[in-house]
């Protein structure tokens, strides 16, 4: 059964990555249709732009509160997805919580940090959904945003909320099964996770066998959601999440100074 899951994972991952790489190649080909320019000068300034604009979200800080919320989502997107590396390796190698075997103590610190960001992302996404669809701030009421732009933004926010909850419920069921010492579930000790631990009363009534199925379902849905999000991103306005880095680095510095 484990080998079937590994094969299925490798095939799904291969297809998802292939589609994503092909789309990136299309984007690169379109970019290269432009006129060649030399952007190899003033590298310290270019790296400064990359750090301040792409990583630091400098332009958003005209409104500090909104900037902070954007920063939470952006940090969550970048940092939390580091745990996808472990999930990916677990899927390929047929392991479970691969990184936990090296140092359960530091692993718990790491995942607790991810969970803190996950909760922050959920809260900010809910606020952004409310601003767009309930409060309907003036800047979001423009007719230009009707149709696809509004649906795209809402879909991205809802997807992030779902992915974060899957991550938390995956952790909650995993640590609960560890406490039960259920022999049908092999997991390295991870220590307690604060925020996912708060969700355990919601699933504590499940039998251990059902809880294993629940944890595996959350694991699979989380990684499949990541693959789907990865391939949706190039079609979305949120492609700027990726392109912000080269855009900031290769900006025309002279025009920025004027």
**If we measure between CA atoms, which residue out of 105, 52, 69, 67 comes closest to residue 253?**
52
Q: In degrees, to the nearest 5, what angle opens at C-alpha 1 toward C-alphas 85 and 102?
A: 35
Picking from 91, 95, 112, the residue whose alpha carbon sits closest to that of residue 227 is 91
**Spatial separation of the C-alpha atoms in residues 207 and 175, rounded to whole Å:** 14
Mean pLDDT of 168-197: 85
CA-to-CA dists, residue 183 to 5, 40, 109, 186, 192, angstroms: 19, 58, 26, 7, 19
pTM comes to 0.83
Q: Over the stretch 224-248, which tens digit does the pLDDT of each residue have?
A: 999 998 898 888 877 777 777 777 7
Query: What is the pLDDT at residue 44?
Result: 84
Name the domain count of the chain: 1
Mean pLDDT, the chain, integer: 82
Q: Which domain holds residue 79?
A: 2-257
Cα–Cα nearest to 146, from 157, 133, 159: 133
Give the pLDDT band (50/70/90) at residue 190: confident
Is the pLDDT at 135 greater than 80? The verdict is no
Tell how far CA 122 is from the center of its chain: 12
Greater confidence (244 vs 213) lies with 213
Q: What does the pLDDT average to over 47-69?
A: 69
Q: Which residues of 64-93 are buried (b: 16+ CB within 10 A; e: fewer)?
A: eeebebbbbbbebbeebeebbebbbebbee
Which residues touch 128 (CB under 8 Å, ≥6 apart)?
Answer: 69, 73, 157
pLDDT of residue 70: 75
Decide: 202 and 150 in contact? Cβ < 8 Å: no
pLDDT digits (tens, 9 = 90+) for 71-116: 787 777 777 767 888 899 999 998 888 888 888 788 899 899 999 9
Distance CA 217, CA 86 (A): 17
């Amino acid at each position: 059964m484990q080998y079937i899951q590994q094969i299925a994972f490798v095939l799904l991952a291969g297809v998802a990555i292939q589609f994503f790489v092909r789309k990136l190649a299309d984007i690169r080909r379109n970019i290269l249709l432009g006129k060649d320019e030399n952007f190899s000068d003033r590298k310290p300034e270019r790296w400064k732009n990359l750090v301040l604009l792409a990583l630091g979200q400098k332009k958003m800080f005209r409104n500090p509160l909104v900037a902070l919320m954007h920063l939470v989502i952006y940090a969550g997107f970048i940092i939390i997805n580091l745990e996808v590396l472990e999930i990916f390796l677990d899927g390929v190698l047929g392991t479970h919580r691969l990184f936990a075997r090296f140092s359960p103590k530091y692993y718990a610190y790491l995942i607790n940090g991810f969970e803190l960001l996950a909760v922050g992302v959920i809260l900010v996404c809910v606020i952004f959904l409310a601003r767009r669809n309930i409060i309907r701030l003036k800047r979001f009421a423009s007719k230009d945003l009707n149709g696809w732009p509004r649906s795209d933004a809402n879909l991205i926010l809802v997807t992030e909320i779902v992915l974060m909850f899957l991550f938390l419920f995956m952790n909650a069921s995993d640590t609960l099964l560890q406490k039960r010492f259920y022999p049908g579930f092999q997991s390295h000790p991870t220590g307690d996770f604060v925020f996912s631990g708060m969700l355990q009363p919601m699933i504590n009534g499940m039998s251990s066998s059902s809880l294993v199925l629940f944890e595996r379902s959350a694991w699979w849905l989380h990684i499949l959601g990541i693959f789907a999000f990865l391939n949706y991103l190039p079609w979305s306005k949120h492609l700027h999440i990726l392109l912000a880095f080269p855009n900031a680095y290769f900006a025309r510095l002279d025009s920025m100074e004027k």
